[in-house]
Chain A
């Protein structure tokens, strides 16, 4: 069963073709250099990333790479929320039109569920249920208990900034270009994570919730202080990163101990962070936990994860092409969709 995935929840346009929720036949993102090289002259408004013409080109490109024609796909999967309404509607409208014209099933997917299924891509041993997911990106930071493909609930969340947002904003304080997360990671690799003791905030003693706003503020205060003005930026980056990783790992460990999980997954853009990956793998060895981290191209927003989620959730995600609507504030839990 080959599904065409379409993801336009934020400022990127992505398409993919995935067989059986696992085998990625093609995964295209219009922010890729290769895509620009091929279509830069064909789609005049390439700068306007939510343009419908751009999405059509991305669908064409994915089909070309997979060596498939549209009639050969078995259905269309699209992110219906949460995200930016102006971007979501482009993906949803295109997916509806395609599904209707082809007479194929349409599946509406929650963007966050997509991240949960990223570790299922391109591997023969998917995470076994029930598993715990740490979802960390520029827009989201949450711990999710995943009982089944459609039975999942958030058990910890950030009270303020998302982890990726803390990375981007701290990177800005350090004068690094956007997107700051990967830049900060690179800088931190040359620094001493114990050079500065930044706070590890916890909203409440028994809570699995997260908070990063205070950490960001501490870094700002430190950089404005006499000691901070002379501090090496690689040490500040490494010490900040160590604080974020400590907070995430402490909450992950507490959540793991409270449940009865067979595996733990790390997903979202921040999952590509090298210090977090190292801490996560060390933790899994020490506690003998089976862990999954998607490859970097499936950590960040992509359409393959959307197609995978639709496949695994196909019984409940199937929607009428004429009635599907984008929902910028789509709730996380499936039950509330009913």
Chain B
């Protein structure tokens, strides 16, 4: 387990970019933390680091967006899932293939969806203030 204090949003981005270097296709990253803690910022920083690309021009999305690249990165957001039974109709399980890295926000809304072998990242804090980030590696 890694625990860090990050003093700004930029520090969060830098941490995410360096964390990204250890990710391989097939890896799953489960992100948690309150609204505004920086989960989406973290995901975007990972995508930018691995695809060497400014992703702010990407479309927003409702549940799942795949960033094409090498490797592809699946960004899943389960904020709107209120009951895991809603998953059946969304086909989100297809986001967890061997060919792509999957990052999941609000994963506790549907823990059964996320592979058991996963990184867990908990972020606390908000805005440009200091944050605590805790990374638990796959067992």
Contacts and interface: CB of A to CB of B under 8 A. Distances in A.
A48 B88 contact: yes
B59 A213 contact: no
A213 B9 CA distance: 12
Contact of A84 (B41, B63, B82): B63
B61 A139 contact: yes
Contact of B62 (A10, A49, A50, A332): A10
A140 B60 CA distance: 6
Interface stretch (A157-165, A190-198, A288-296): A157-165
Interface residues of A, number: 39
A160 B42 CA distance: 12
Given A217-B126, A220-B34, A220-B35, A138 B89 contact: no
Contacts of A328: 64-66
B68 to A, nearest CB: 7
Contact of A86 (B41, B59, B66, B90): B90
Interface in B58-99: 59-66, 68, 79-80, 82, 85-86, 88-92, 94
Q: Is the interface of B mostly helix, strand, loop or mixed?
A: loop
Interface string A72-90: 0000000000111111000
B64 to A, nearest CB: 6
Contacts of A50: 89-91
A138 B62 contact: yes
B36 interface: yes
Interface string A194-227: 0000000000000000000110111011000000
Given A169-B79, A220-B34, A160 B40 contact: yes
Nearest to B93: A86
B59 A82 contact: yes
Contacts of B90: 11, 50, 84, 86-87
Contact of B126 (A47, A169, A220): A220
Contacts of A47: 85, 89
Given A85-B94, A217-B127, A162 B89 contact: no
A57 interface: no
A162 to B, nearest CB: 4
B56 interface: yes
A43 interface: no
B64 A84 contact: yes
Contacts of B21: none
A48 B63 CA distance: 16
Given A87-B91, A169-B79, A329-B65, A221 B126 contact: yes
Contacts of B94: 85-86
Interface string B97-112: 0000000000000000
B62 A139 contact: yes
A146 to B, nearest CB: 18
Contacts of A234: none
A168 B91 contact: no
B56 A159 contact: yes
A84 B91 contact: yes
Interface string B110-139: 000000000000000011000000000000
Interface of A: 10-11, 47-51, 82-87, 138-141, 157-162, 165, 168-169, 172-173, 178, 213-214, 216-218, 220-221, 328-329, 332
Interface of B: 34-36, 40-41, 56-57, 59-66, 68, 79-80, 82, 85-86, 88-92, 94, 126-127
The 9 A-B residue pairs with the shortest CB-CB distance, nearest first, are A86-B91, A217-B36, A162-B60, A139-B62, A217-B126, A217-B127, A48-B89, A159-B56, A50-B89
7 contacts: A49-B89, A83-B62, A84-B64, A86-B94, A213-B41, A218-B127, A329-B65
Given A82-B61, A158-B60, A172-B35, 16 more contacts: A11-B90, A47-B89, A49-B89, A84-B63, A139-B59, A159-B56, A160-B41, A162-B60, A178-B80, A178-B82, A213-B36, A217-B126, A220-B34, A328-B64, A329-B59, A329-B66
